[in-house]
Structure 1
Amino acid sequence: MSEVAEAAPLTVTKNAAKRINAVLQGEPEGSMLRISVSGGGCSGFQYAFTVDRSRNPDDIVIERDGATVLVDSVSLPFLSGSTFDFVDDLMGQSFRVENPNATSSCGCGTSFSV
């Protein structure tokens, strides 16, 4: 596991922050990564990662090493206590959410149930 910054409803690891910064280099200035949860996927809920240039009034803003992550208030209860990481292993490179609220997840890692 990567080194983490604490005291946020969602913990963003150092590896995730580094990768977010790399991804956002090709985006317009002020771009941020939005993490959200919606109904769907093979396990009931799914994570979505999008680039956003605006903050909503109800967004939770998490900053780590120059990277800014947004989470909307509807998604927050599903992500509370989770760790957002970036891994590069034999299975490939990807963002991963380690979610203590999930009772199960699918093989793709983007779908879960509570």
Structure 2
Amino acid sequence: MSRLFSYIKSIIAVVVFKIKWRKFNSHNFATAKSLFSKGRVKLGRFSYGPLEVFDYGEKNAGLEIGIFCSIAENVKFILGGNHFIDGLFSYSIGPMLINNEKSGYSKEK
């Protein structure tokens, strides 16, 4: 019963988010397919398509899409979660092996 309640709650959260997204983005025709922070995603006028955004919560991560842009089906945007490239390994040794929380970085704007 708890699983069913959680599932229904998540469906309601997505529906409410989609309604809020459309209200906030009346200048474009994009539709939200997943939950993400509205403040991190900006779309230009007349852009359209399904938005599937995965946000790892990195401080400076964001997505900006210009005007008159088309987003194809099955495109996934990933915010944050980049690999470190200035160390000995690019593999996420900390999070994967020793439970260190920070697994990547965000590129500064």
TM over 0.5: no
Choose between structure 1 and 2 for higher RCO, CA contacts under 8 A separated by at least 6 residues.
1
Q: Which structure has the highest helix share of the two? A: 2
Q: Which structure has the highest strand share of the two? A: 1
TM (normalized to structure 2)?
0.30
- Structure number, greater radius of gyration: 2
TM (normalized to structure 1)?
0.29
